[in-house]
Amino acid sequence: MTDNTDTNKEKKTTTHKIGIYLWIWGLLFVLSFFSYMVDWYQFQGLLRWTLILIFMFLKAGLIMAFFMHLFWERYTLVNVLLWPMTAIACFVGLMVAEGKYTVFTRFIYFVLGE
Amino acid sequence: MDQSSIDKLPKGWKSIPSDLGSDQTTFKGVQWGKAMMWIFLLSDTFIFSCFLISYMKGRASTVVEWPNPSEVFALDFMGVPVPLLLIAIMTFVLITSSGTMALAVKYGYEKNKKMCGWFIVFTALGGLTFVGMQAFEWSKLIHEGVRPWENPFGAAQFGSFFFMITGFHGTHVSIGVIFLFIFARKVFRGDFDTGKRGYFTTMKSDYVAIEILGLYWHFVDLVWVFIFAFFYLW
Protein backbone atom coordinates (compact mmCIF):
# COMPACT_ATOMS: atom_id res chain seq x y z
CA MET A 1 0.00 0.00 0.00
CA THR A 2 2.72 2.44 0.93
CA ASP A 3 4.39 1.71 -2.39
CA ASN A 4 1.18 2.51 -4.17
CA THR A 5 0.81 5.95 -2.57
CA ASP A 6 4.45 6.64 -3.38
CA THR A 7 3.96 6.00 -7.08
CA ASN A 8 0.83 8.12 -7.01
CA LYS A 9 2.86 10.97 -5.57
CA GLU A 10 5.46 10.52 -8.28
CA LYS A 11 2.78 10.72 -10.94
CA LYS A 12 1.47 13.96 -9.52
CA THR A 13 4.72 15.78 -10.26
CA THR A 14 4.84 14.78 -13.90
CA THR A 15 1.25 14.76 -15.09
CA HIS A 16 -1.50 17.15 -14.18
CA LYS A 17 -5.25 17.11 -14.57
CA ILE A 18 -6.45 17.98 -18.06
CA GLY A 19 -8.63 20.73 -16.58
CA ILE A 20 -5.66 22.94 -15.73
CA TYR A 21 -4.39 22.89 -19.33
CA LEU A 22 -7.84 23.66 -20.71
CA TRP A 23 -8.21 26.54 -18.25
CA ILE A 24 -4.86 28.05 -19.21
CA TRP A 25 -5.67 27.54 -22.85
CA GLY A 26 -8.97 29.35 -22.41
CA LEU A 27 -7.33 32.18 -20.48
CA LEU A 28 -4.71 32.61 -23.23
CA PHE A 29 -7.50 32.88 -25.79
CA VAL A 30 -9.33 35.48 -23.73
CA LEU A 31 -6.15 37.50 -23.11
CA SER A 32 -5.23 37.39 -26.80
CA PHE A 33 -8.72 38.55 -27.64
CA PHE A 34 -8.34 41.44 -25.19
CA SER A 35 -4.97 42.46 -26.62
CA TYR A 36 -6.50 42.40 -30.11
CA MET A 37 -9.31 44.60 -28.82
CA VAL A 38 -6.68 47.16 -27.77
CA ASP A 39 -5.99 47.68 -31.45
CA TRP A 40 -9.61 47.26 -32.53
CA TYR A 41 -10.79 50.15 -30.36
CA GLN A 42 -7.64 52.11 -31.22
CA PHE A 43 -6.71 53.02 -27.66
CA GLN A 44 -3.78 55.42 -27.84
CA GLY A 45 -0.93 56.67 -25.68
CA LEU A 46 -0.24 55.49 -22.17
CA LEU A 47 -3.46 53.46 -21.90
CA ARG A 48 -2.56 51.48 -25.02
CA TRP A 49 0.99 50.72 -23.89
CA THR A 50 -0.08 49.71 -20.37
CA LEU A 51 -2.79 47.38 -21.65
CA ILE A 52 -0.44 45.80 -24.21
CA LEU A 53 2.19 45.18 -21.53
CA ILE A 54 -0.28 43.80 -18.99
CA PHE A 55 -1.81 41.30 -21.42
CA MET A 56 1.63 40.38 -22.76
CA PHE A 57 3.12 39.63 -19.34
CA LEU A 58 0.01 37.72 -18.23
CA LYS A 59 0.16 35.55 -21.35
CA ALA A 60 3.90 34.99 -21.07
CA GLY A 61 3.56 34.15 -17.38
CA LEU A 62 0.77 31.64 -17.96
CA ILE A 63 2.67 29.91 -20.77
CA MET A 64 5.88 29.68 -18.76
CA ALA A 65 4.28 28.70 -15.46
CA PHE A 66 1.83 26.05 -16.65
CA PHE A 67 2.52 24.99 -20.23
CA MET A 68 6.29 24.93 -19.63
CA HIS A 69 5.73 23.51 -16.10
CA LEU A 70 7.94 26.11 -14.37
CA PHE A 71 5.31 26.42 -11.62
CA TRP A 72 6.12 22.84 -10.60
CA GLU A 73 9.91 22.98 -11.11
CA ARG A 74 12.40 23.42 -8.33
CA TYR A 75 13.40 26.98 -7.41
CA THR A 76 16.97 26.52 -8.62
CA LEU A 77 15.95 26.01 -12.24
CA VAL A 78 13.37 28.81 -12.08
CA ASN A 79 15.97 31.24 -10.69
CA VAL A 80 18.64 30.26 -13.19
CA LEU A 81 16.13 31.18 -15.90
CA LEU A 82 14.53 34.29 -14.45
CA TRP A 83 17.58 36.28 -13.28
CA PRO A 84 19.16 36.52 -16.76
CA MET A 85 15.77 37.72 -17.99
CA THR A 86 15.87 40.43 -15.34
CA ALA A 87 19.24 41.45 -16.77
CA ILE A 88 17.57 41.71 -20.19
CA ALA A 89 14.98 44.04 -18.65
CA CYS A 90 17.84 46.28 -17.42
CA PHE A 91 19.32 46.22 -20.93
CA VAL A 92 15.95 47.37 -22.29
CA GLY A 93 16.00 50.26 -19.81
CA LEU A 94 19.50 51.29 -20.89
CA MET A 95 18.53 51.21 -24.56
CA VAL A 96 15.41 53.32 -23.94
CA ALA A 97 17.68 56.04 -22.53
CA GLU A 98 20.15 55.59 -25.39
CA GLY A 99 17.35 55.78 -27.97
CA LYS A 100 16.09 59.05 -26.51
CA TYR A 101 19.60 60.51 -26.68
CA THR A 102 20.06 59.39 -30.30
CA VAL A 103 16.79 60.88 -31.48
CA PHE A 104 17.63 64.08 -29.60
CA THR A 105 21.00 64.46 -31.36
CA ARG A 106 19.42 63.59 -34.71
CA PHE A 107 16.83 66.30 -34.29
CA ILE A 108 19.49 68.81 -33.32
CA TYR A 109 21.95 68.07 -36.12
CA PHE A 110 19.87 66.65 -38.99
CA VAL A 111 16.46 68.26 -38.72
CA LEU A 112 17.23 71.64 -37.16
CA GLY A 113 20.65 71.75 -38.82
CA GLU A 114 19.11 71.84 -42.28
CA MET B 1 17.00 11.04 -8.71
CA ASP B 2 13.64 9.62 -7.65
CA GLN B 3 10.79 11.64 -6.26
CA SER B 4 10.98 10.33 -2.68
CA SER B 5 14.59 11.51 -2.23
CA ILE B 6 13.76 14.88 -3.82
CA ASP B 7 10.94 15.28 -1.32
CA LYS B 8 13.49 15.03 1.50
CA LEU B 9 15.54 17.99 0.16
CA PRO B 10 15.03 21.55 1.47
CA LYS B 11 12.17 23.42 -0.16
CA GLY B 12 11.53 27.04 -1.12
CA TRP B 13 14.34 29.60 -1.09
CA LYS B 14 16.51 27.33 1.05
CA SER B 15 16.58 24.84 -1.81
CA ILE B 16 18.65 27.21 -3.99
CA PRO B 17 21.93 27.23 -2.01
CA SER B 18 21.50 23.57 -1.13
CA ASP B 19 20.86 22.53 -4.76
CA LEU B 20 23.65 24.71 -6.16
CA GLY B 21 26.10 23.50 -3.53
CA SER B 22 25.23 19.84 -3.83
CA ASP B 23 27.11 17.05 -5.55
CA GLN B 24 26.72 15.89 -9.13
CA THR B 25 23.31 17.25 -10.10
CA THR B 26 22.27 20.87 -9.76
CA PHE B 27 18.78 20.60 -11.20
CA LYS B 28 17.25 17.92 -9.01
CA GLY B 29 14.70 15.73 -10.71
CA VAL B 30 15.26 17.43 -14.08
CA GLN B 31 16.38 15.07 -16.81
CA TRP B 32 19.61 16.32 -18.43
CA GLY B 33 18.00 16.79 -21.83
CA LYS B 34 15.35 18.99 -20.31
CA ALA B 35 17.96 21.08 -18.48
CA MET B 36 19.91 21.49 -21.74
CA MET B 37 16.77 22.51 -23.59
CA TRP B 38 16.15 25.19 -20.95
CA ILE B 39 19.72 26.46 -21.32
CA PHE B 40 19.27 26.55 -25.09
CA LEU B 41 15.98 28.39 -24.75
CA LEU B 42 17.65 30.91 -22.45
CA SER B 43 20.31 31.59 -25.08
CA ASP B 44 17.58 31.84 -27.70
CA THR B 45 15.85 34.36 -25.45
CA PHE B 46 19.02 36.48 -25.62
CA ILE B 47 18.98 36.38 -29.41
CA PHE B 48 15.33 37.37 -29.69
CA SER B 49 15.84 40.02 -27.01
CA CYS B 50 18.69 41.52 -29.03
CA PHE B 51 16.44 41.67 -32.10
CA LEU B 52 13.55 43.23 -30.22
CA ILE B 53 15.80 45.68 -28.35
CA SER B 54 17.49 46.80 -31.56
CA TYR B 55 14.04 47.18 -33.10
CA MET B 56 12.97 49.29 -30.12
CA LYS B 57 16.08 51.46 -30.39
CA GLY B 58 15.69 51.79 -34.16
CA ARG B 59 12.06 52.78 -33.86
CA ALA B 60 12.68 55.16 -30.96
CA SER B 61 15.58 56.98 -32.61
CA THR B 62 14.32 57.54 -36.14
CA VAL B 63 13.24 61.05 -37.04
CA VAL B 64 10.93 59.77 -39.81
CA GLU B 65 7.49 58.62 -38.71
CA TRP B 66 7.11 54.88 -38.11
CA PRO B 67 4.55 53.09 -40.35
CA ASN B 68 1.26 52.48 -38.49
CA PRO B 69 1.19 48.68 -38.01
CA SER B 70 -2.58 48.46 -37.69
CA GLU B 71 -2.88 49.97 -41.20
CA VAL B 72 0.09 48.18 -42.75
CA PHE B 73 -1.10 44.77 -41.53
CA ALA B 74 -4.80 45.37 -42.21
CA LEU B 75 -6.53 42.82 -44.40
CA ASP B 76 -9.54 43.48 -46.64
CA PHE B 77 -12.47 41.39 -45.53
CA MET B 78 -15.46 41.76 -47.90
CA GLY B 79 -14.16 45.14 -49.01
CA VAL B 80 -13.63 46.49 -45.49
CA PRO B 81 -10.06 46.79 -44.16
CA VAL B 82 -9.90 44.97 -40.80
CA PRO B 83 -6.84 45.93 -38.73
CA LEU B 84 -4.40 43.11 -37.88
CA LEU B 85 -6.93 40.45 -38.95
CA LEU B 86 -4.36 37.96 -40.24
CA ILE B 87 -2.05 38.54 -37.28
CA ALA B 88 -4.91 37.92 -34.84
CA ILE B 89 -5.77 34.64 -36.57
CA MET B 90 -2.08 33.65 -36.53
CA THR B 91 -1.94 34.37 -32.80
CA PHE B 92 -4.97 32.20 -32.11
CA VAL B 93 -3.61 29.38 -34.30
CA LEU B 94 -0.29 29.40 -32.46
CA ILE B 95 -1.95 29.43 -29.03
CA THR B 96 -4.17 26.54 -30.10
CA SER B 97 -1.14 24.55 -31.21
CA SER B 98 0.53 25.36 -27.88
CA GLY B 99 -2.53 23.97 -26.09
CA THR B 100 -2.52 20.76 -28.11
CA MET B 101 1.20 20.40 -27.39
CA ALA B 102 0.55 20.69 -23.64
CA LEU B 103 -2.02 17.90 -23.96
CA ALA B 104 0.42 15.79 -25.99
CA VAL B 105 2.97 16.09 -23.16
CA LYS B 106 0.33 15.10 -20.62
CA TYR B 107 -0.79 12.05 -22.63
CA GLY B 108 2.84 11.14 -23.25
CA TYR B 109 3.53 10.93 -19.53
CA GLU B 110 0.39 8.81 -19.17
CA LYS B 111 1.88 6.53 -21.86
CA ASN B 112 -1.20 7.05 -24.02
CA LYS B 113 0.50 6.51 -27.37
CA LYS B 114 -2.45 7.27 -29.64
CA MET B 115 -3.60 10.50 -28.00
CA CYS B 116 -0.04 11.74 -27.61
CA GLY B 117 0.76 11.07 -31.27
CA TRP B 118 -2.40 12.66 -32.61
CA PHE B 119 -2.00 15.77 -30.47
CA ILE B 120 1.56 16.15 -31.77
CA VAL B 121 0.19 15.87 -35.33
CA PHE B 122 -2.44 18.56 -34.55
CA THR B 123 0.32 20.76 -33.15
CA ALA B 124 2.39 20.30 -36.29
CA LEU B 125 -0.61 21.14 -38.48
CA GLY B 126 -1.17 24.29 -36.44
CA GLY B 127 2.47 25.22 -36.97
CA LEU B 128 2.19 24.61 -40.70
CA THR B 129 -0.92 26.81 -40.87
CA PHE B 130 0.98 29.54 -39.05
CA VAL B 131 3.98 29.39 -41.39
CA GLY B 132 1.62 29.35 -44.37
CA MET B 133 -0.12 32.50 -43.22
CA GLN B 134 3.21 34.13 -42.53
CA ALA B 135 4.34 33.35 -46.08
CA PHE B 136 1.11 34.96 -47.32
CA GLU B 137 1.78 38.03 -45.19
CA TRP B 138 5.36 38.33 -46.44
CA SER B 139 4.33 38.06 -50.11
CA LYS B 140 1.55 40.62 -49.58
CA LEU B 141 3.98 43.13 -48.06
CA ILE B 142 6.63 42.45 -50.69
CA HIS B 143 4.01 43.11 -53.40
CA GLU B 144 3.20 46.39 -51.69
CA GLY B 145 6.84 47.38 -51.99
CA VAL B 146 8.18 46.68 -48.49
CA ARG B 147 11.92 45.98 -48.69
CA PRO B 148 14.59 45.71 -46.00
CA TRP B 149 15.93 49.09 -47.13
CA GLU B 150 12.73 51.00 -48.00
CA ASN B 151 8.96 50.91 -47.84
CA PRO B 152 6.13 53.18 -48.99
CA PHE B 153 4.67 53.66 -45.49
CA GLY B 154 7.34 55.50 -43.48
CA ALA B 155 10.68 54.92 -41.76
CA ALA B 156 13.01 52.79 -43.89
CA GLN B 157 14.08 50.62 -40.94
CA PHE B 158 10.60 49.07 -40.74
CA GLY B 159 11.24 46.49 -43.43
CA SER B 160 14.55 45.22 -42.13
CA PHE B 161 13.23 44.77 -38.61
CA PHE B 162 10.05 43.15 -39.88
CA PHE B 163 11.77 40.60 -42.10
CA MET B 164 14.50 39.89 -39.57
CA ILE B 165 12.28 39.34 -36.53
CA THR B 166 9.33 37.53 -38.12
CA GLY B 167 11.70 35.60 -40.37
CA PHE B 168 13.77 34.35 -37.46
CA HIS B 169 10.61 33.41 -35.60
CA GLY B 170 9.17 31.69 -38.67
CA THR B 171 12.39 29.69 -38.99
CA HIS B 172 11.92 28.51 -35.42
CA VAL B 173 8.34 27.48 -36.18
CA SER B 174 9.42 25.62 -39.32
CA ILE B 175 12.17 23.72 -37.49
CA GLY B 176 9.64 22.93 -34.75
CA VAL B 177 7.17 21.54 -37.31
CA ILE B 178 9.85 19.25 -38.74
CA PHE B 179 10.71 17.92 -35.29
CA LEU B 180 7.02 17.53 -34.40
CA PHE B 181 6.48 15.29 -37.41
CA ILE B 182 9.61 13.27 -36.60
CA PHE B 183 8.47 12.78 -33.01
CA ALA B 184 4.89 11.97 -34.03
CA ARG B 185 6.33 9.12 -36.11
CA LYS B 186 8.48 7.97 -33.18
CA VAL B 187 5.45 8.02 -30.86
CA PHE B 188 3.21 6.06 -33.25
CA ARG B 189 6.03 3.55 -33.86
CA GLY B 190 6.15 2.98 -30.10
CA ASP B 191 9.78 4.05 -29.58
CA PHE B 192 8.92 5.58 -26.22
CA ASP B 193 7.15 2.47 -24.96
CA THR B 194 9.89 0.04 -25.98
CA GLY B 195 12.75 2.38 -25.06
CA LYS B 196 14.22 2.02 -28.54
CA ARG B 197 17.64 3.65 -28.84
CA GLY B 198 17.72 6.95 -30.73
CA TYR B 199 19.44 7.17 -34.12
CA PHE B 200 21.75 10.08 -33.24
CA THR B 201 22.02 9.87 -29.47
CA THR B 202 21.92 6.06 -29.06
CA MET B 203 20.11 6.82 -25.80
CA LYS B 204 16.97 5.01 -24.76
CA SER B 205 13.81 6.82 -25.85
CA ASP B 206 11.67 8.19 -23.05
CA TYR B 207 8.47 10.20 -22.99
CA VAL B 208 10.39 13.04 -21.34
CA ALA B 209 11.51 13.80 -24.92
CA ILE B 210 7.94 14.90 -25.64
CA GLU B 211 8.12 17.38 -22.78
CA ILE B 212 11.44 18.70 -24.11
CA LEU B 213 9.92 19.08 -27.56
CA GLY B 214 6.96 20.77 -25.87
CA LEU B 215 9.28 23.26 -24.14
CA TYR B 216 10.67 24.31 -27.51
CA TRP B 217 7.21 24.64 -29.01
CA HIS B 218 5.84 26.68 -26.09
CA PHE B 219 8.91 28.90 -26.36
CA VAL B 220 8.07 29.62 -30.00
CA ASP B 221 4.58 30.62 -28.83
CA LEU B 222 6.10 32.69 -26.03
CA VAL B 223 8.30 34.64 -28.45
CA TRP B 224 5.26 35.31 -30.63
CA VAL B 225 3.50 36.84 -27.60
CA PHE B 226 6.31 39.41 -27.40
CA ILE B 227 6.51 39.99 -31.16
CA PHE B 228 2.73 40.44 -31.32
CA ALA B 229 2.83 42.97 -28.49
CA PHE B 230 5.87 44.98 -29.55
CA PHE B 231 5.87 44.77 -33.32
CA TYR B 232 2.20 44.56 -34.27
CA LEU B 233 0.33 46.26 -31.45
CA TRP B 234 2.73 48.95 -30.17
Please check whether residue B184 lies inside any domain of the structure.
yes
Percent with pLDDT over 90 in chain B: 59
Contacts B210 to A, Cβ<8 Å: none
Measured CA to CA, the distance from residue B90 to residue B228 in angstroms comes to: 10
Report which of B148, B151, B137, B162 is spatially closest to residue B227, judged by C-alpha positions.
B162
- Provide the 8-state DSSP code for B149: S
Angle at B133 between CA B209 and CA A29, to 5 degrees: 65
Q: Are B100 and B93 in contact (CB under 8 A)?
A: no
Question: At CB < 8 A and 24+ separation, what contacts does B133-137 make?
Answer: B133/B86, B133/B89, B133/B90, B133/B93, B134/B90, B134/B166, B134/B170, B134/B173, B136/B86, B137/B73, B137/B86, B137/B87, B137/B90, B137/B166
Cα dihedral across residues B18, B20, B21, B26: positive or negative: positive
Q: Supply the mean pLDDT for chain B.
A: 90
Q: What is the span of the domain harbouring residue B204?
A: 28-233
Residue of chain A whose Cα is closest to the Cα of B14: A75
Note the pLDDT tens digit of each residue in A61-71: 999 999 998 89
Please check whether residue B6 lies inside any domain of the structure.
no
Q: Report the complex ipTM.
A: 0.88
Check residue A114 and give its pLDDT.
65
Note the pLDDT tens digit of each residue in B47-93: 999 999 999 999 999 888 899 888 888 887 777 878 888 899 999 99
Note the pLDDT tens digit of each residue in B154-205: 899 999 999 999 999 999 999 999 999 999 999 999 888 888 888 777 888 8
Question: In the predicted model, is pLDDT for residue B219 greater than 70?
Answer: yes
Residue A14 pLDDT level (bands cut at 50, 70, 90): low
Q: What is the CATH number of the domain that holds B229?
A: 1.20.120.80
Please check whether residue B1 lies inside any domain of the structure.
no
Please check whether residue B13 lies inside any domain of the structure.
no
Count of structural domains within chain B: 1
Report which of B32, B5, B28, B8 is spatially closest to residue B16, judged by C-alpha positions.
B28
Please check whether residue B19 lies inside any domain of the structure.
no
Cβ separation B88–A32 shorter than 8 A: yes
Measured CA to CA, the distance from residue B99 to residue A32 in angstroms comes to: 14
Contacts A84 to B, Cβ<8 Å: 42, 45-46
Please check whether residue B2 lies inside any domain of the structure.
no
Minimum distance, in Å, between the CA of residue A1 and any CA atom of chain B: 15
Please check whether residue B38 lies inside any domain of the structure.
yes
